[in-house]
Structure 1
């Protein structure tokens, strides 16, 4: 449920002119990198650690993203979950619980890490303060939500050789979630049908 909990952000304004200038440069660079890929497929490896570095959870799976706003994030067994968006709503399916949670893709949900990669990159600056560091073939972006009630304090998004490589989320208590992307492929045709979800017979449905 962690990926779903991250779908909760609102907006806060800037006060520093210097920060605005730095943010604009970082947004321009990040937009360039994100816009080069209209679709992305990748394997992912996810590791969550507490503030002291103790491992809390480890998982892996497959993701498919397609602009604008379409994504499919499938976590492998034994902690299997499927997160799907058709650009209008989001389904979270837990096969062990036989439970589907459905949420409307409203303004709050568009400010999330998954949709940052698949959504409207022109709106990034509305939702995050952004800085970046570029060295050699690696570019790191630090995104800090402008929301007061965000469930993560910062998001680092890294590209290697202009290709998505990894991201790290840190929450208010220091818990870190590291996601490494493997076998990344961009701009391959992706059928829209994989971004809809048919509710299995007998599954419990929670509408939020």
Structure 2
């Protein structure tokens, strides 16, 4: 009996030890963002109120190129394009035929901060927090509002954050292509002559 119990304890220790080790070695976040140079993906962005009530859903295509170029093209339910090209950030509303130069804000509390900066160059990075629905979630502690990155395997799958209105925004990605060739024209502001340009 003692021998069987001893074997059981050893086996349990090994199993539990492996679980702890596996969780402590989760490095999906650092591995992904340290090697990221560019990406393309479809996205769906869903917004909920503080009471978890559905507010809206948008979808479109997302393109990014390091060091600091981004195109966030919402196609449904209406078309809007956010273009970041190094030091210029433009919001283009095709329905209003208007392009507005945005004031560059502090990116440190936004997901964009982690696209621009590689974890290897930073003192603190998001840490593994929990797993749910097959997604491993990493929490960014430097933000005053919740900001989490979800991974399936070694691929970025989702981002969850809270905005200034205490609304929860959930962004899911699909058909993501990492370190793929990006056309530089994707980040250029190309407008119809009828557009109003506001600087």
Residue of structure 1 aligned with 2:180, choices 188, 204, 207? 188
Aligned in 2, Cα 1:56/1:123: closer, same or farther, shift over 3 Å? farther
| Whole-angstrom distance in 2 between the partners of 1:173 and 1:104 | 20
Distance 2:45 2:53 in 1: 14
Q: CA deviation at 1:166?
A: 0.2
Structure 1: segments with no counterpart, 5+ residues: 1-24, 148-152
2:112 corresponds to: 114
2:66 maps to 67
TM-score between the two structures when normalised by the length of structure 1: 0.71
Aligned to 1:198: 190
Match of 2:153 among 153, 156, 161: 161
Give, in angstroms, the shift of residue 68 of structure 1. Answer: 0.9
TM-score w.r.t. structure 2 length?
0.74
CA distances 1:24-63 after superposition (whole Å, capped 9, x unpaired): x99x763322122211111001110101222111111001
RMSD: 2.9
Unaligned regions of 5+ residues in structure 2, if any?
1-23
Provide, for residues 93-131 of structure 1, a one-character-per-residue CA deviation record: whole Å limited to 9, x for no partner. 00111111113546x2465323532x12259857x7733
How many residues are aligned here?
174
State the 1:165 CA deviation.
0.2
Contact 2:109 2:143 (C-alpha < 8 Å) held by counterparts? no
Matches within 5 A, 1:1-208: 30-103=29-102, 105=104, 108-109=106-107, 111-117=109-115, 119-122=116-119, 125=122, 130-133=126-129, 138-146=135-143, 153-171=145-163, 174-207=166-199
Aligned mates of 1:61, 1:165 — CA distance in 2? 15
Task: Work out the CA distance in 2 between the residues paired with 1:181 and 1:113.
Answer: 14
